[in-house]
Amino acid sequence: MTAETSRPLLSVERLSIEFGEKRVVSDLSFALHSGKTLCITGESGSGKSLTSLAIMGLLPKTARLPSGAIMFDGKDLLRLPERQMQHLRGQAIGMIFQEPMTSLNPLMTVGQQLEETVRRHEPLSRRESKQRARAMLDAVRVPNVDKRLGQYPHELSGGMRQRVMIAMAMLCQPRVLIADEPTTALDVTIQAQILELMRELQQAFGTTLLMITHDMGVVAEMADEVVVMNQGLLEERAPVRTLFKTPQAAYTKKLLAAVPVLGTMGKPVSKTKEPVVLEVKDLKVHFPLRGGWFEEARAIHAVENVSFTLRQGETLGIVGESGCGKSTTGKALMNMLPYEGSIKLLGRELNGLKGEALKPLRQDIQMIFQDPYASLNPRKTILDLVGEPLLIHGMKNLKLRTERVVELLEQVGLSAEAMERYSHMFSGGQRQRICIARALALNPKVIIADESVSALDVSVQAQVLELLERLQKEYQLSYVFISHDMAVVERLCHRVAVMFSGQIVEIGQRDQVLGNPQHPYTQRLLSAVPMPDVDRRKDFKSLLRDIEVPDPVKPRNYQIPRQAYKAIGIDHFVAV
Amino acid sequence: MKILLGLCCRPVVAMALLFILVVMLLALFAPWVAPYDPFEQFVEGLSLEGAPLPPDATYHLGTDLLGRDLLSRLLYGARTSLLIGLIANGIAVLIGTLVGLTAGFVRGWIGTILMRFTDLMMAFPALLLAIALAAIFQPSVWIVALVISMVNWVQIARVIYSETVALSARDFVAVERTLGASALRILFSHLLPHLVPTILVWATLGISTTVLLEATLSFLGVGVQPPTPSWGNIIFESQTYFTSAPWLVLFPGAAIVLLSLSFNLVGDALRDALDPTLKGRS
């Protein structure tokens, strides 16, 4: 408790933010102590990002601040003239945003952007600023610094871009670094790398860190102190250990209870006796690339020889990082793109079917997409949207259709009144329920869920997962659940397949794959998952070394050698 | 009907609607409303020096270079201009939308052929094409309307094409495919409603451009043939006398501006009224 008594470096005092009549942050107070990490957490709409923007003086012009002060260095940042704020930004307070691609200027090289930032704040010569940039990139462990300095943002991977962003924010060695969801857009191993880097930088430069994140795992890994916000109000402010061990606020308890924790699920119910509903054999998806006249024809080999079976009432999780081919596999299962190999649904071959021949099979296999905002046509009422599959498949009678839609909406926990409304009038979780109702309309046997809960807040996510489980029991549904989130996969799935570079590297019962991973890639993936457990803080140092990912662009008719699998236990196979 | 009533609630929109309606009625009943024959050249309609007369009690809006009553010519001209503005522009919008929608949704070689043809039309000087077409056919109001629509659909097709491509990539279209919806259903039930705002904007903007294009054609002698009046050719006939007889340009000019402004206002209001996502928002 010594930190509490010493003078804080930055303190937010009774801050309120309003947009028009609406108060989005209300009476918020907290303090940042030198060299410590404070995490602000909460679900969407809690006002956590606005708070960080207020500190940077970057709130939109329409925002009003009826009360409050942000004290830094004996000055109130809210009352500082813009010129002085500009001076402070970057030099005393640095900021990292969520999306590294959009926060870097795509028309300037990495070197130019870094040097510009240095020179804006310090009167350095060209050579000195270049040296500073190079040293900073070294500090964030960017390999081949000299080459990187001349590269443009689009030439870097997501993780590299975020490292450059961090280097940029740290160039003038600010005393406070604000990171707004710095790892949300990144893969889990890249996230682990960035978290590790931030820890190292904090130690090397004594920077005070203010992190905004919705991920309780990240909070547990990084924070010294936590502020929990909900709808603009402060719910709880406590040291990290107290918060996780003995949460006080009801909201915090609810939030923590909703977070799925990896390794807490035990053995799944075995489904090996059930009949097979979906059989995938040697699935290959190649996207041909346009080449010149004299170039060799090339293709992106997105999915290579993927085989698995799915039984009635079973959930198969497909996990992997971006670009591993998991979503492409899902699209191939829906016949949304051309593929090689065989997909058998209830014994009927899907490959080669088109138009009218495919239509009856659509009744048995349906898909729920990641983004419920994008997958509902905003110009249609819910009745039109949920009733659409019925109409397409021949239920012309409006009365019958309406009855069925009411029934479907009730199944997913929505009232019949929802029918007359449009999708923008619903929250994210409700929209995903509408999507689920639509997918259920034709009584499918198999549902492909592609990152279907990733865009949702944890408490909403937990409800949707519960709904999916309940529907599975009621209708003996089989799910292919595509996700990057291991804890969610463990929560829902009976079996898990791990994909890497277009291939399945490990597949088996969830307790075996996630509890006793055999393939080095699975092990690496699992070791990178941040745990919402303050007693098990992970050391991500070993993850800082990147592994080699094979280039998916290969000659068009290149045949990949067939992957051999080794049986580890019953129904647990590992690529060798 | 509900939408129309809703539109009338906004005073500006109601006024615009009223103006359009009045112009339409006046055009329709021109033979009864017009004070004089639009083709008659009055001897007393010119000054002793042979200059046109400014507005007075006899000729309410003055007379033109040949001593014809301007008000009567404007009323009869409204027939031509409205016909061009609505029919020619309507056909152009229809062709443009169909070409853009098909090319953007089907893509592949059909889309490529359609869009390359559109590019070709765009690169080809519109005026030259119009002159060529008008020279082949016997000039009449209907041929002029046809020529104008042949020239004007190109930009609309381009815009609709790129919007359709973007819309087709949205998730809700992918969902429709997975539900087994036919291409026609996706096109007309899901894509077209999203294109309505764009189409309305182009359609209302197009009214003024087509009226002016008709005037250009008339000026070059391949448009509506004199002595048949149109708002455009009244301006073009007399634009060189703008300093000495400004009323000859001002009145038809104001008519064109007011009419296209009214259509733009109504179009904007219609776009908002047709967008359900704006419901329940301020």
CATH number at residue B158: 1.10.3720.10
> Cβ distance B148 to B213 under 8 Å?
yes
Residue B8 lies in a domain: no
Give the type of residue at B214.
Answer: E
pTM above 0.90, yes or no: no
Question: Does B181 contact A388 at a Cβ distance shorter than 8 Å?
Answer: yes
| Euclidean distance between CA atoms A351 and A217, whole angstroms | 41
Q: Quick one: which of B207, B166, B177, B187 has its CA closest to B99? A: B187
Residue B264 has which token pair? 């733009």
Which residue on chain B is closest to A420 by alpha carbon?
A: B276
CA distances from A32 to A72, A245, A271, A331, B7 (A): 10, 22, 52, 47, 55
Q: Which of B173, B175, B275 to mutate to test the interface with A (most CBs of A within 10 A)?
A: B175
Top pLDDT among B18 and B212 is at B18
Count of CB pairs separated by less than 8 Å, A with B: 58
Chain A residues lying within 8 Å of B273, measured CB to CB: none
For B65, the token pair is: 């270079």
Query: Which tens digits make up the pLDDT trace of A513-530?
Result: 998 899 999 999 998 998
The predicted-structure confidence for A26-72, as pLDDT tens digits, reads as follows 999 999 999 899 999 988 888 888 899 899 888 888 888 888 899 98
Subunit contact B178:A424, Cβ cutoff 8 A: no
Could you tell me if residue B19 is inside a domain? no
Check residue A4 and give its pLDDT: 47
Burial of A376 (0-12, 13-18, 19+ CB in 10 A): buried
Report the distance separating Cα B93 and Cα B102, nearest Å: 14
Instruction: Look up the ipTM and state it.
Output: 0.75
Flag whether B7 is in a domain.
no
A81-134 residue pLDDT tens: 888 888 888 888 988 888 777 788 888 899 999 998 888 888 888 888 899 899
**Would you say residue B282 lies in a domain?**
no
Provide the residue range defining the domain that includes B264. 71-274
Query: Do β-strands A315-319 and A495-500 pair in parallel, antiparallel, or remain unpaired?
Result: parallel
The verdict on a CB contact (< 8 Å) between B174 and A375 is yes
- DSSP secondary structure string for all residues of A53-88: HHHHT---TTEEEEEEEEEETTEEGGGS-HHHHHHH
Give burial (CB, 10 Å; 0-12/13-18/19+) of A564: exposed
**Residues forming a β-bridge with A574:** A506, A566
> Cβ neighbours of residue A330 under 8 Å, at least 6 residues apart?
A318, A367, A448, A450, A480, A482
Length of chain A in terms of residues written: 576
Nearest to B118 by CA among B132, B104, B130, B138: B104
How far CA A33 is from CA of A8, A12, A78, A227, A242, in Å, comes to 5, 12, 19, 13, 17
Q: Which of residues 344-403 of A touch B (CB under 8 A)?
A: 358-359, 362-363, 366-367, 369-371, 374-381, 388-389, 392-393
Q: Chain B partners of A374 at a C-beta cutoff of 8 Å?
A: 170-172
Residue B30 lies in a domain: no
Q: Say how far apart CA B230 and CA B211 lie, in whole Å.
A: 9
By the 8 A CB rule, do B69 and B63 touch? Answer: yes
Q: How many domains does chain B have?
A: 1
- From the number of C-beta atoms within 10 Å of its C-beta (0-12, 13-18, 19+), residue B91 rates as middle
User: According to the model, what pLDDT value does residue A472 have?
Assistant: 93
**Mean predicted confidence (pLDDT) in B176-205:** 87
Cβ distance of B179 and A388 shorter than 8 Å: yes
Q: Mean per-residue pLDDT for A229-254?
A: 91
Between chains, do A422 and B277 touch, taking CB under 8 Å as contact? yes
Helices (H), B240-279: 247-274
Predicted confidence at residue B5, as pLDDT, reads 66
The dihedral over CA atoms of B131, B135, B141, B145, expressed in degrees to the nearest 10, equals: -50
Instruction: Give the one of A358, A369, A378 whose C-beta lies nearest to B175's C-beta.
Output: A369
Distances (CA, A) of A231 to A13, A15, A17, A182, B114: 18, 14, 12, 21, 52
Q: Is residue B40 part of a domain?
A: no
Lowest mean pLDDT among A18-22, A337-341, B50-54, B243-247: B50-54
Reference A303, options A321, A322, A326, A319; nearest CA is: A326
> How many Å apart are CA A545 and CA A548, to the nearest integer?
10
CA distance A440 to chain B (A): 11
**Could you tell me if residue B35 is inside a domain?**
no
What domains lie within chain A, and their CATH numbers? Answer: 2-258 (3.40.50.300), 276-364+445-575 (3.40.50.300), 371-443 (no CATH)
In a domain, B123, yes or no: yes
| Residue pointed to by tokens 């492909």 | A448
Indicate which of A362, A379, A434 best probes the interface with B, i.e. most B CBs within 10 Å of its own CB: A379
Amino acid at A199: R
